[in-house]
Chains A and B, each alone.
Chain A
Amino acid sequence: MRNVIVTGGSRGLGLGIVRRLTEAGYRTIAIARKETAQLQSAMEDGERDHHGSLRFVPFDLSRIDEIPRLVKTLRKDFGPIYGLVNNAAVGFDGVLAIMHNSQIEELVRVNTLSPIVLTKYVVRSMMADGGGRIVNVASIIGFTGYSGLSVYGATKASMIGFTRSLAREVGRMGVNVNSVAPGFVDTEMTQKLEDEQRQQIARRSALRRLPDIDDVAHAVEFLLGEQSKSITGTVLTVDAGNTA
């Protein structure tokens, strides 16, 4: 069974990705600070349905210095890592001019620095094992603007740039690197959006609705699967046509 790591896999989009990949037959390793009731129930479902399997590994991804040890432990406990889904992120919004520096720093640390360092340690083991897949969860905010999300947008744009160059770097070692850029999806992270804003986003989208978690999870599954073996260095936008 192929091992896939999903960061931030205990809730929201990450949990949806974890559920999808487990159903698709992967051994999914969810990494997050805390186990949630939803993740526990996903693990029970996984056990019962016998598709793939789902494991939880508690880890605070903002602890950059601990990442090398995390990857070493994962490899020791689970064996070769086939896939990495860099999904964990924080989503503080706020006007840049009055945003606290500590929040700016945390956004960059969790959304950019941490996935880059994690990828460093995972990708080299993928290269040593002959290949693998990396999917970075970006956001349409990385290439379109939204007031109050300048720092978040910067971190998401950084993941797209990271994806493109890393794809070129490790392609000949059999590792594909892609991004998924979701539009606004209903999760805890976007709860702060008011109904009015939500409706406006839906109205401005080609399909007149918001994408749901499962839409994004399917895109991630596709980029991990055989069907996408010739796709690397690209961004798959899942936004119901919001940026079309």
Chain B
Amino acid sequence: MELIELEYWQLALASVLVILLAACSWWVRLGFGRSLVIAAVRTTIQLSLIGLILEALFSVGALGWVALMGVAMVILAGREVMMRQRRRLRGGWAFGIGTSAMFVSAFTIAVMTLLIVIRPDPWYQPQYAIPLLGMMLGNTMNGIALSLDRLTDTVWRQREDIEGRLMLGQRWQEAISDIRREAMRSGMIPTINMMAAAGLVSLPGMMTGQILAGSPPALAVKYQILLMFTIAAGTGFGTMLAVTAGSYRLFDHRQRLRTDRITDPTH
């Protein structure tokens, strides 16, 4: 099966659609025209750049460069997790907890999947390693950001309930147990929903891409299932780690609730 080459003028044709939409937004004053154009430009620049980087990486294929790329991706994802929280833990903890949770879950599971399941030769071959890590990080990042945001926000709003429980002599783990469970759930639910709906409502992005690029659907499906499982595991373990570490940080050695360790978004 041969690939149909996509030319720049064909992309320009597709961009006309976006420009039309922006014009409409301007026409009826919907107010998103400007951000739509900026986002479209960003997507073009960012993806072109990553394309160049991947081309270079694929041609070199050295372990050091692949590892560097992986670490850079984890750090960027950690920054994104921090930015998406309305109330964050102060003093670098929001970034630290998000990044280490992703490193431990997404990074480890990606490496294990490469070494044990896919087994390309060499195992760090960037054509497999980078997309796998990218998909896992993207989803794990969402889960961790959602769950940490839920955790700090709910703790802030229910701080008097938590203290009420501490006053009755409950341990901090008990006083925050409901909130912790809810935070973990909210991080996991998008992934569970995605797995449950896969193939029924929408074809997953990676599988679609593979099929468009000429891969037989049966193989694309197998890769997609593998990816779903690793994503679920990465998101689940990452969320559990992040919420556990985050709740731990919300109390001090005398089991006092320390809301002063959370930022106040109104200031």
- Are A and B interaction partners? no
Q: List B residues at the A interface (Cβ < 8 Å).
A: none
